[in-house]
A and B are shown apart, each in its own frame.
Chain A
Amino acid sequence: MSEIALVTQLKDKFGDGIVTVELAAIDAWVEVTASALIDVCEFLRDVEDYHYDMCNCITAIDYLHTDPKKAEKVDWAPHIELVYHLSSIATKKTLVIKVKIPRWKDEAAQQLPEIPSVAGVWTTAIWHEREVYDLSGVNFIGHPELKRILCPDDWEGYPLRKDYEMPLEYHGMRGR
C-alpha cells in the first residue's frame, strides 16, 4: 500500500502524536492526538507526493450507549471521535485522520470538549467545524467564529449526541 511510506514519515516526525494506524480498514485511517492535530494536518497538506490539499468532510461520532446493559457489552469507554476525510486534487489520494476526545471537558458544568481548529489549514473547515459544534457539541479552539449554523442560535443541546432529548417546546411550538 502506498500509504506505508507516508505513515513511516508521520511516525518519524510526530512520534507519540500518532496513536494508531489502520491501513487494512476499508478506508485507511490514522489516529492522532488532539495536541498533534494541527501540525499533522499542516504536514499532510504540504508533504511531497501526497499534498492533501482538500478537506472533504469533518464528522464527529458520539460513542455512548444510553442503555447500561448495552454499555457493558462494548469494549470502549464513552468518547467522541472526530473524523477528517482528506483528499488531494494534485495526487488524487485520500486519507482519513481520527482524533478521540472525551465527551465533556467538565460534564457537571456542561463544558464542551476541546480540540484545536484546523480552519487555518483548510478554510473550508470553518463551516464544517461550525456544523460539528452545532450538532455534536465540540469546542474548536482557535476557530474564527464558532456559532451554530443549521440550528437557530438559541437552540439548546447537541442533536447528534446519543443522549440528546428533543425539547418539548420551542418558542411556543410543540416539539413532540
Chain B
Amino acid sequence: MSATNIDDPRVIEFDVRTDEMLINMGPQHPSTHGVLRLALRTDGEIVSDLEPHIGYLHRCAEKIGENLTARQFVPYTDRMDYLAAMNMNLGWALTIEKLLDHDVPEKGRHLRVLICEMNRIASHLVAMGTYGLDLGAFSPFLYAFRERERILDLFEKACGARLTYSYIAPGGATADLPVGWTAECSKFINQFKKIIPEFHTLLTTNAIFIARTTGVGILSPRMAIDYGCTGPVLRGSGVYHDLRFHGEERYTELYDGYEFDVICADSETGKYPSSHQEVYKDGLEYPDVPSDAILGDCWHRFYVRMLEVVQSVRLIEQSIVKYDACSGSHGEPIKLTQKLPVGEAYLETEAPRGQMGFYVVSDGQSNPWRVRARSSCFSNLYVTAPLCRGVLLADVPAVVGSLDVVMGEIDR
C-alpha cells in the first residue's frame, strides 16, 4: 500500500505489518497441561517455529534420591507423574527388586496389575477430558472426572490417599486391599463399561472434534522412534510396541496368564484390533476410523488411549478373579534402611504416558549412589517442535494435548 492513501479514512489496510511475530504461550496457559512454556514464531496464523521451555517444576528428584534410601524415595516417585502415581511406584519398586533380586508373591503380582490398570484408566480419563477442554469441548471433561473420582475413591479406601499413593513399594505393597474392595471394584467396572460409549459419542465421533484432530500433527513411525517417543504416542503412529508384551521379563511376568491386546492400528489396513468388542456383549459397535484420519495424527493418538481403557477393563476383570483366588501375603515392603547390593539396574515399565525408566546405581550403602528417572513425557514433548511447524496457531493446543504430557514427570 502506498503512503498516499493514509488520508482516506476508508482505507484500513495501509502499512500492514507482515513480519514474523514471536508469541509466548505459557507457562500458565491452561492448555499446556501444567507449567510448560512455548515460544512460538508465527507468520500470520501459521507457526513457523516453536521451542518448548521446561524446568518450571524441577524439584531435583534425582539428587534427592542420592540422599534417601530406596524405600524412602517412593513418595518422590508419586510426584513425578502425579496422574499415574501407582505406575510410577511400580516402576521404582520393580527396579529396586531387580537390583535386590527379590520376588513378589503371587497375590502381590495380581494386586499390582489390578491397581496399575485402574490408575491407567484414571490417567487416560484425564487425558481424554483435558484434550476435549483444549479443543473447547467442556462437557467430556465433567464426564471423565465423574468416573475418575470413583477410581480415586477406591484408591482412597485401599491406601488412604487420592493422588500421591506411595502404595506399591519395593518388596510388595504397603497394605493388602481391604475386605470387600474387589467386590466394589467389579461393581465399578461393570458400571464403567456401559459408560465408555458415552465418551465416544461426546468426543470420538463428534464432527468438530474430528475436524480439529484428523490430519493434524502427523508423526511418522520412523520419526517417532528416532525422537524416542513411547506409549500411546508411538502406538498412535502404528508401531507395535508395548512393554507389557515386549519389556523385560521382570516386568512382563506380571502380566503372565493375562489376555489383552496391544492397541495399535495395523499399518496396512489401518484397522484396530477388535477384541474390545468382547467387552460389550450387547452388540455396541465401536466407531470406525474417520476417513480423514491419517495414521499418526492427533486423532489416532487419542483413539489409542480410548481403546487402551477397554484393555485395562479386561485386565482388571481378570486380575480381580486371580487376586481373589490367591491367599497368603501380598508382599511386605523392604526395610526402611535395607542395604542395596553393589551394582546397577535399569528397568522400564509401560506407564500410561509411555515408557518410564528408573536407573539405580549402588555402592553397597542403603542410599543409592545415583538415581535416574527416564521420563516418557520428556522424550514425547521434544517432538512438539517438528510436529507444530507449519500448523495453525489454534492447532498447537491440539498437538500438545494429543501428546498428553505431565510436567511433573518431565521436570522431575
A interface residues with partner B (beta carbon < 8 Å): 25-27, 53-57, 59, 61-62, 83, 85, 87, 89, 92, 94, 96, 122-124, 126-128, 131, 135, 148-152, 159-160
B345 CB–A CB distance under 8 Å = yes
- Tell me whether A57 and B343 are in contact (CB under 8 A): no
A56-B62 Cα distance, complex, nearest whole Å: 17
> How far does the Cβ of A33 sit from chain B's closest Cβ, in whole Å?
20
Can you sample 6 A-B contacts with CB below 8 Å?
A: A59-B370, A83-B359, A96-B346, A123-B227, A126-B382, A150-B412
Residues of B within 8 A of A26 (CB): 98-99, 343-345
User: Within 8 Å of chain A (Cβ to Cβ): is B378?
Assistant: yes
In whole angstroms, how far apart are the Cα atoms of A149 and B248 in the complex? 30
- With A56-B348, A56-B355: A127-B239 Cβ-Cβ less than 8 Å: no
Which residues of the partner chain B approach A85 to less than 8 Å between Cβ atoms? Answer: 346, 357, 359, 374
Instruction: Report the Cα distance A55→B370, complex, angstroms.
Output: 20
Question: Which one, B369, B372, B382, contacts A57 given CB within 8 A?
Answer: B372
Chain A residues with CB under 8 Å of B55's CB are 148-152
Closest to B246 in A: A92
Residues B362-384 near A (CB distance < 8 A): 369-370, 372, 374, 378-379, 382
Contact of B343 among A25, A53, A83 (CB under 8 A): A25
Distance in Å: Cβ of B81 to nearest Cβ of chain A = 16
Contact B54 A149 (CB under 8 A): yes
Q: Which of A27, A59, A148 is close to B345, meaning CB atoms less than 8 Å apart?
A: A27
Which B residues touch A94, using CB under 8 A?
A: 248
A54 to B372, CA, bound (A): 18
Partner of B359, one of A25, A59, A135: A59
**Category for how many chain B residues contact A:** 35 or more
Q: Residues on B close to A: CB < 8 A?
A: 54-55, 58, 60, 62-63, 98-99, 225-228, 234, 239, 241, 246, 248, 343-346, 348, 355, 357, 359, 361, 369-370, 372, 374, 378-379, 382, 411-412
Q: B225 contacts A56, CB within 8 Å?
A: no
**Complex interface: chain B residues within 8 A of A27 (CB):** 344-346
Q: A27-B344, A159-B63 are in contact. Are A55 and B248 (CB under 8 A)?
A: no
| Chain B residue with Cβ nearest A29 | B344
| A122, A123, A126, A128 — most chain B CB neighbours (10 Å) | A123
CA distance A57 to B95 in the complex (A): 15
Selected contact of B361 from candidates A61, A148, A159, CB within 8 Å = A61
Partner of A124, one of B98, B226, B246, B372: B226
Residue from A54, A85, A131 having most chain B Cβ neighbours under 10 A = A54
Q: Which residues of A contact B248 (CB under 8 A)?
A: 94
In the complex, what's the smallest C-beta–C-beta distance from B9 to chain A, in angstroms?
48
Contact B228 A54, beta carbon cutoff 8 Å = yes
Tell me, rounded to whole Å, the shortest Cβ–Cβ distance linking B373 to chain A.
9
A contact residues around B359 at 8 Å (CB): 57, 59, 83, 85
The CA-CA distance from A53 to B222 in the complex, in Å, is 9
Contacts of B379 in A (CB 8 A): 124, 127-128
How far apart sit A174 and B348, CA to CA, in the bound complex (Å)?
Answer: 37
Closest beta carbon of chain B to A96's beta carbon, Å: 7
Cα-based distance from A86 to B275 in the complex (angstroms):
32
Given pairs A26-B98, A61-B361, A89-B239, 4 additional interface contacts (CB within 8 A): A53-B226, A122-B228, A124-B228, A128-B228
CA distance A110 to B227 in the complex (A): 32
Q: Which residue of the partner chain, among A55, A59, A122, A150, contacts B372 with CB atoms under 8 Å?
A: A59
| Smallest CB separation, B76 vs chain A (Å) | 15
The residue on B at minimum CB distance from A25 is B343
A61 and B370 contact, Cβ closer than 8 Å, known pairs A56-B357, A150-B55: yes
What residues of chain A lie closer than 8 Å to B378, measured between beta carbons? Answer: 127-128, 131
Bound state CA distance, A92 and B348, in angstroms?
13
Q: Do B374 and A57 have beta carbons less than 8 Å apart?
A: yes
Least distance between B17 CB and chain A CB atoms (Å): 29
Given the complex, which residues of B lie within 8 Å of A61, measured CB to CB? 361, 369-370
In the bound complex, what is the Cα–Cα distance between A151 and B60 (angstroms)?
Answer: 10
Partner of A53, one of B58, B225, B357: B225
A124–B380 CA distance with the chains assembled, in angstroms? 9
Name the distance in Å between A80's Cβ and chain B's nearest Cβ.
Answer: 11
CB distance from B253 to the nearest CB of A (A): 15
Q: How distant is A128 from chain B, measured CB to nearest CB, in Å?
A: 8
Which A residues are in CB contact (< 8 Å) with B60? 159
Specify the chain A residue showing the minimal Cβ separation from B241: A89
Q: Which residue of A lies closest to B245 (CB)?
A: A92
- For residue B248, which residue of chain A has the nearest CB? A94
